[in-house]
């Protein structure tokens, strides 16, 4: 975990992403901002991310933030981001109407 901690502020890590480069960068930055802002409250962070994404890229985004969960989702092609934040949080953002 020590090794990871120095990565927290260093790099953005995405395990799987389906987005075009520009969109991906923007979304990752947004997620990082939201998670830092609402470090204790995942719900608010998720809400912030979802609302911003809806405004920027069109309606029906879904956001899940957590430390332990499994998922199976259907997403619109080129609209999925699954990343880790701060060594302990996983954020999954996808669009599906």
Residues that bind other proteins (CB under 8 A): 1, 3-4, 7, 11, 13, 15-16, 18, 66-77, 80, 82, 84, 87-90, 92, 94, 96
Nearer to other proteins (CB atom), residue 40 or residue 74: 74
What is the distance between the alpha carbons of residues 94 and 19, in angstroms, rounded to a whole number? 10
CA angle 78, 80, 82 (to 5 degrees): 145
Q: How far apart are CB 72 and other proteins at their closest, in Å? A: 4
State the chain's maximal CA–CA distance in angstroms.
40
CB closer to other proteins out of 3 and 40 = 3
Question: Shortest distance, CB of residue 40 to other proteins, whole angstroms?
Answer: 18
CB of 42 to other proteins, least distance (A): 12
- Please provide the size of the chain in residues: 97
Measured CA to CA, the distance from residue 64 to residue 3 in angstroms comes to: 25
């Amino acid at each position: 975990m020590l090794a990871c901690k120095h990565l927290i502020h260093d790099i953005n890590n995405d395990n799987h992403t389906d987005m075009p480069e520009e969109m991906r960068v923007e979304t990752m930055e947004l997620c990082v901002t939201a998670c830092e802002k609402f470090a204790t409250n995942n719900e608010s962070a998720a809400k912030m991310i979802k609302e911003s994404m809806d405004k920027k890229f069109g309606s029906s985004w879904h956001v899940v933030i957590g430390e332990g969960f499994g998922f199976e989702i259907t997403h619109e092609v080129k609209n999925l981001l699954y990343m880790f934040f701060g060594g302990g949080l996983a954020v999954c953002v996808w669009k599906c109407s």
